[in-house]
Structure 1
Amino acid sequence: MSGAGRKIVLQMMTTLDGRLDDPMAWLHGVSDDQYREIDGIYAGYDTVLVGRTTYEEMAAYWPGAISEGTETNRRMAHRMNAIQKLVFSRSGAAPLTPWNNVERVAAATDADLAKYLVELKTQPGGDIHLSGGASLAQSVVALGLVDDYRFFVYPTVSPGKSWFAKLPAGLDLQLLGSSAYENGVVNLHYVPRQPAEEVHRESFTDMLT
């Protein structure tokens, strides 16, 4: 893939109300068909953007998962160990658990974060997975730098931090595709909708005519 076509993809498991933090409070499992889909999508990434706390959770699990679990889990473990991991923080001062192919990125302000990511998207490579945690995901979405949205929506509502909580304005998305899995989770694939001329409606009824 050329540098011009490189995209930042927000791919996350979430709830009906958009929660993305503390998944153990609401995530009730990943079915085999859903996991295979996630693994297939991940084959298109060569970089993951992650906050320090989420990185530590990943570093505690994936290195030891190469020889554990299902075939899909082992394949995902190999992908996670090989992929470039960019770990973002405001200061870059906190130590990180050693892992393969890790780079620390200090972005003191949102302007610093935007500058780094815009440059990253121009470099040759595959697509870039915006993983989390919640603060990093919210910041990148609010900066308008997400090119693709892939949500695995769990049929539950849970109070917490949502991916759209810090949006400075509305965001219109265009649906590219959807699929459902045996555990009731729905995969929704969106891209940002291009701005179009607005037609002012006086009432909801006008929208239906």
Structure 2
Amino acid sequence: MRSIHVTMSVTLDGVVQGLGRPDEDTRGGFAHGGWGTRHQDDVMAREMGEGMRRPGDMLFGRRTWQDFTTAWGGRDDGNPFTKHLNAATKYVASATLEDADAWQNSILLRGDAADTVAELKAQPGPDLSVIGSASLVRALHAAGLVDRYTLLIHPLTLGTGARLFGAAPLTEFGLTGCVPTTKGVLIAHYERRV
């Protein structure tokens, strides 16, 4: 059975919306897009690079997959993240996407995300990594499918925006490691307690 590892940037008040740029996700009138870029440093780059070195496949929700397709698909810039993302097998969970042909090595998982991902997880194969994809993560968490989290906890509150966990079920995780960055981000690693 595969394991599922989620990597997500989050504010102190749990917001995960619009991390990367002002226009990334303005749903609900969200006006704080790009909040995470001011906290990047060499420590964060090194830690995220370590995560990219682990073998495995990737798992995306539709919105994040489409955004990453535009940002990373087809690029050849020598960036190790670009190389990793383009080479990885990418599963995209969606009930509305027609196909996953826009980005190489992408496979569409049609239907209910929790059901299709549970089927994929039960199959033999490499572990699955999720970057972003908050709606998908909420569905997988509610279904008890997430095994590990790496949370990049940013030192700010926004007061508004989509949160990582809504009405999530009681689930316990143990802290397995924590790395502080020079910009005050805590990179916390959690593993599900069985």
Bucket of the pairwise TM-score, normalised by the shorter protein: 0.7 to 0.9
CA-based RMSD of the aligned residues comes to 1.9
Task: Indicate the residue corresponding to 2:178 in structure 1.
Answer: 178
**1:45 and 1:128 in contact (8 A); partners too:** no
User: Would the alpha carbon gap of residues 65 and 33 (structure 1) be closer, same or farther in structure 2, given more than 3 Å must change?
Assistant: farther
Gaps of 5+ in 2: 22-32
**2:100 and 2:106 in contact (8 A); partners too:** no
Task: Indicate the residue corresponding to 1:165 in structure 2.
Answer: 166
Q: Which structure dedicates a bigger proportion of its chain to helix?
A: 1
**2:74 and 2:103 in contact (8 A); partners too:** no
Q: CA deviation at 1:172?
A: 2.1
Q: Give 3-state SS (helix, strand or coil) of 1:164's partner.
A: coil
Q: Give 3-state SS (helix, strand or coil) of 1:33's partner.
A: helix
Q: Can you list the C-alpha shifts for 1:94-129, whole angstroms capped at 9, x where unaligned?
A: x6561210111112x3xxx33322332233333211
Pairing of 1:84-163 with structure 2 (within 5 A): 84-93=89-98, 98-107=102-111, 109=112, 113-158=113-158, 159-163=160-164
TM-score, normalised on structure 1? 0.77
**1:47 and 1:129 in contact (8 A); partners too:** yes
Task: Indicate the residue corresponding to 2:30 in structure 1.
Answer: none
CA distance in 1 between counterparts of 2:133 and 2:115 reads 20
CA distance in 2 between counterparts of 1:183 and 1:66 reads 29
Q: Give 3-state SS (helix, strand or coil) of 1:183's partner.
A: coil
One-letter amino acid of the structure 2 residue matched with residue 43 of structure 1: R
**2:63 and 2:133 in contact (8 A); partners too:** yes
Q: Give 3-state SS (helix, strand or coil) of 1:161's partner.
A: coil
Task: Indicate the residue corresponding to 1:83 in structure 2.
Answer: 88
One-letter amino acid of the structure 2 residue matched with residue 41 of structure 1: G
Q: CA deviation at 1:88?
A: 1.6
Task: Indicate the residue corresponding to 1:206 in structure 2.
Answer: none
- Flag the structure with larger Rg: 1
CA distance in 2 between counterparts of 1:97 and 1:14 reads 30
CA distance in 1 between counterparts of 2:93 and 2:115 reads 13
**1:92 and 1:105 in contact (8 A); partners too:** no
The number of aligned residues is: 179
TM-score, normalised on structure 2? 0.83
How high is the sequence identity, in percent, across the aligned residues? 29
More displaced 10-residue stretch of structure 1: 122-131 or 172-181: 122-131
CA distance in 1 between counterparts of 2:186 and 2:76 reads 27
- Structure 1 residue runs of 4 or more that deviate by more than 4 Å after TM superposition: none
Task: Indicate the residue corresponding to 2:18 in structure 1.
Answer: 22
